[in-house]
Amino acid sequence: EVVMTQSPATLSVSPGERATLSCRASQSISSNLAWYQQKPGQAPRLLIYSASTRATGIPARFSGSGSGTEFTLTISSLQSEDFAVYYCQQSNKWPPLTFGGGTKVEIK
Amino acid sequence: EVQLLESGGGLVQPGGSLRLSCAVSGFIFNTYAMSWVRQAPGKGLEWVSAISSSGASTYYADSVKGRFTISRDDSKNTLYLQMNSLRAEDTAIYYCAKDGRGNYISYFDYWGQGTLVTVSS
């Protein structure tokens, strides 16, 4: 099983600042990585797939990078609606598909 | 507009059974693989099961293998999850999710709103 590890668990950021979230895979997953955003009481929403491709309708302030075992989600200038929990998910080696434990982005 | 609507959740005793349904619209159902993903209260996301677009191939997490069965009815545009021998640790919100690449299990571009399953005596 590919273990996905996200850091930090919680990130405190002021509105307008840049946020950088990390996701590490226990083995190489090429670029088969997706990022999701989840707000309280809502289903997850796809942000990024194939490590760096923004999903339909996702603002340009969200960007993804990385390949192999190290990945990053960057939010260039945090807006109020961006405070949420973010998950990474690999699909290179399955079953099982695996998610990271999540990073909560909170208001500083 | 793509829509996924789960139903069938509820309170069930340990050892009991439930069948979840996910009615979909807005896309050609029989050309996409589908999955179930769950989230225990206050916890992260856990993939549970997936089914190919044809229904010929199914996949399960070890935690549910032998107890859960995924299926689909393309004539009804509906995905199912039959859950047997339920345990307290199966308590979670269950989401159905559409694959983003068609018949390849990859990422999930659309999710339902979820249905809560509570296993308790």
Touching check for A68 and chain B: CB below 8 Å? no
- Please give the backbone phi and psi of residue A20, each rounded to the nearest 5 degrees, phi first: -125, 120
Identify the pLDDT of residue B117.
98
Identify the pLDDT of residue B83.
98
- How confident is the prediction for chain A on average, in pLDDT? 97
Residue B98's DSSP bridge partners are B34, B110
Q: Above 90 in pLDDT, residue A9?
A: yes
Touching check for A93 and chain B: CB below 8 Å? no
**B41-63 average pLDDT score:** 97
Rounded-to-integer distance, Cα B104 and Cα B53, Å: 8
- Residues B111, A97: C-beta atoms closer than 8 Å: no
Identify the pLDDT of residue A91.
97
Identify the pLDDT of residue B72.
98
Identify the pLDDT of residue B89.
98
- Residues B46, A99: C-beta atoms closer than 8 Å: yes
Identify the pLDDT of residue B105.
87
Can you give the three-state secondary structure of B65-104, one letter per residue?
CCCEEEEEECCCCEEEEEECCCCHHHCEEEEEEEECCCCC
- Mutation pick from A97, A99, A103, A104 vs chain B, by most beta carbons of B within 10 Å, is A97
**B82-106 average pLDDT score:** 95
B120 pLDDT band (50/70/90 cuts)? very high
Are the C-beta atoms of B46 and B37 separated by less than 8 Å? yes
Identify the pLDDT of residue A97.
97
B87 pLDDT band (50/70/90 cuts)? very high
Are the C-beta atoms of B14 and B23 separated by less than 8 Å? no
Touching check for A34 and chain B: CB below 8 Å? yes
- Residues B105, A32: C-beta atoms closer than 8 Å: no
Touching check for B1 and chain A: CB below 8 Å? no
Q: What is the DSSP string of A24-43?
A: EESS--TT-EEEEEE-TTS-
Q: pLDDT tens digits for A28-67?
A: 999 999 999 999 999 999 999 999 999 999 999 999 999 9
Neighbours of A2 (CB within 10 A): 18
Structure-block tokens of residue A78: 């945090």
Identify the pLDDT of residue B102.
83
B104 pLDDT band (50/70/90 cuts)? confident
Residue of chain B nearest A85, judged by CA positions: B44
- Please give the backbone phi and psi of residue B5, each rounded to the nearest 5 degrees, phi first: -130, 110
Are the C-beta atoms of B78 and B72 separated by less than 8 Å? yes
Identify the pLDDT of residue B103.
79
Are the C-beta atoms of A26 and A11 separated by less than 8 Å? no
Touching check for B31 and chain A: CB below 8 Å? no
**B66-92 average pLDDT score:** 98
Residue of chain B nearest A44, judged by CA positions: B111
Q: Above 90 in pLDDT, residue A71?
A: yes
Q: pLDDT tens digits for A10-36?
A: 999 999 999 999 999 999 999 999 999
Rounded-to-integer distance, Cα B53 and Cα B46, Å: 21
Q: pLDDT tens digits for A73-88?
A: 999 999 999 999 999 9
